[in-house]
A and B are shown apart, each in its own frame.
Chain A
Amino acid sequence: MSTTPLRAAMVPVTRQMRAYFAPVNRTTETPTIFDPGLAGMFLLNAPPSPWVDLGWIENFDRWYETPTDVVRSGAKAQPAVQFRGPLEARVELDFRQWGKLQMALAGGSEHMNVLAPAGGSVSPAPSGGTPAPGAAVLAGSTASQLVFGTGVAGTFVAGQLLAVDLDYQQQIGYVGSGIAAAYVSDPLAVKQDPNYVRRVTFNVGRVAEVTETSVLLAQPLLGGVPAAGASAQVVIAFLDREGGSFFQEWSALFVAEEESGGRVCFYYPRLSPNPGAGGGVRWDSANVGTRGSGGNRSAKVVGVPGGKFVREEFAAIESCAAVSLHASFLALPFTDTNDGQSVLCYRSYFPAAMAATY
């Protein structure tokens, strides 16, 4: 049977790549599973829970750096068998949209919420000084509605960002409800600050409306229903740092938007930010619209001693430039539950309707 009329549908065409991330349970190192059979052809604007839509991305590059070598035998050293060397895979991309999660992934280490300062004299600190005290979140709250009791209108107003989490309890280990936001190895390192968890938590939401006793959030908290005893503090800004000892780790799903019918997905069970060896690059804002390392639209310049990794990219808009967050990741292994193989990335393909099978 001729499949010629069906072969055109076998050509995936895409216009752009979309990124979705979901948390890894850091205590058990359990990733969020993307099962193509259960959720493969989801609506791109409505990803299945707990995947978080981080928007369209650009300059998406994947590297698979696992060498394959050959064992040779015989007088003529003929190839006898192949074997794979050390597993390594990387991903690089630019987030065009900035947000709490995008910054955390691009920054790679602890991502800070700059909490609104307390009134009066506060010692300045680059990542935020002494904050205004938190407001206790009451029982009955949900991921989208935080109950504070009467008088909340005098505390919060629509438009504010809130960080919602527990006080730091002097514990050692991962902190952050629902999603590990940092690792504390010594309470003294964080000055036993009860606000520390809210300084780093991913449970941040914008106040959409203030009712008599509660606030409604524009988006649900990533960590779900606030834990009993949680408090909320106003966030002024998001902040990441060059440095830090914590490594973010997330499950990632990249979807090539299907223009011709077939969808291609790249699923990384565990991705950890890692700029790699880099090529020696630096910013050059005067160079917007050019690209030193090939391609275009970047202010990247190659070969600068001491520089290793571009944190932001510029996408020229005539005489202006949109700033995007440059992110680079190292894929960590996941043991496939079906056959026990160690896997860094899964590539799935959902053929277009009526496409030939081969």
Chain B
Amino acid sequence: MQFAKDSFFLALQSRLAGLDPGRTITLNGATVPGIVVVENLPPSSAEPQPNAFYIEWGAAQVVAGHARNAALMSMECVISYYTLGSVASMVDRGRMLGQMDEELLAICQPPNTEKIDYSQSPSADLGTKVFWSQPVFEEKQKTAVDDLAARHPDARVERRVRLNVFFFSEVTLS
């Protein structure tokens, strides 16, 4: 399962670096592409930074009808991000969020990548692919008509994107 998570993240990270080299964040003094996996960060990490994609993994299960011994699994994935705009008046924050929406949709294409074992060096191609559903863009808050400024003192606009990631388990079921 970890191989699928790593492969998905590194595919999106390399695609983002190619698509928008300027979208970076600084983590522990290092500048990296602006997409990170929350569970890979120290628990003591600071609050999420604006203009960056945060990946969180959810529940996983064997896809019904595909169990056999080579189990096809699905895993929920949520990617969150927010922006405060690029100018002091923050009037372009809607446009900035739209740009991030487009970038995320773009780096999710094609919706598959090779499953690689990055725990060894050199990394090893595991022979199957990780593939995923098309992203669903949601408001992070349920009441989208609420005044954003009332919800967030800093007037941020934010997004939560859901998708399901599929992969063949490394475990052979009996």
Contact = CB atoms under 8 A, between A and B. Distances in A.
B41 to A, nearest CB: 30
B30 to A, nearest CB: 33
Most chain B CB within 10 A, of A7, A8, A13, A260, is at A8
A4 B172 contact: yes
Given A4-B172, A260-B168, A9 B127 contact: yes
Interface string B60-91: 00000010011010000000000000000000
Interface in B120-142: 125-129, 131
A260 B131 contact: yes
A74 interface: no
Given A259-B111, A259-B131, A7 B125 contact: no
Contacts of B70: 7-8, 10-11
Interface in A1-52: 4-11, 13, 15
A353 interface: yes
B115 to A, nearest CB: 9
Given A11-B72, A260-B131, 9 more contacts: A4-B172, A5-B170, A6-B127, A9-B127, A11-B70, A260-B168, A261-B114, A261-B128, A352-B127
Contact of A9 (B111, B168, B172): B168
Contact of B172 (A5, A261, A352, A354): A5
A355 interface: yes
Contacts of A11: 66, 70, 72, 168
Indicate the size class of the contact surface on chain B.
10 to 19
B127 A261 contact: yes
Interface in A341-358: 352-355
Most chain A CB within 10 A, of B72, B111, B129, B166, is at B129
Contacts of B13: none
Contacts of A260: 112, 128-129, 131, 168
Contact of A354 (B66, B125, B169): B125
Contact of A355 (B72, B112, B127): B127
Nearest to A356: B127
Contacts of B72: 11, 13
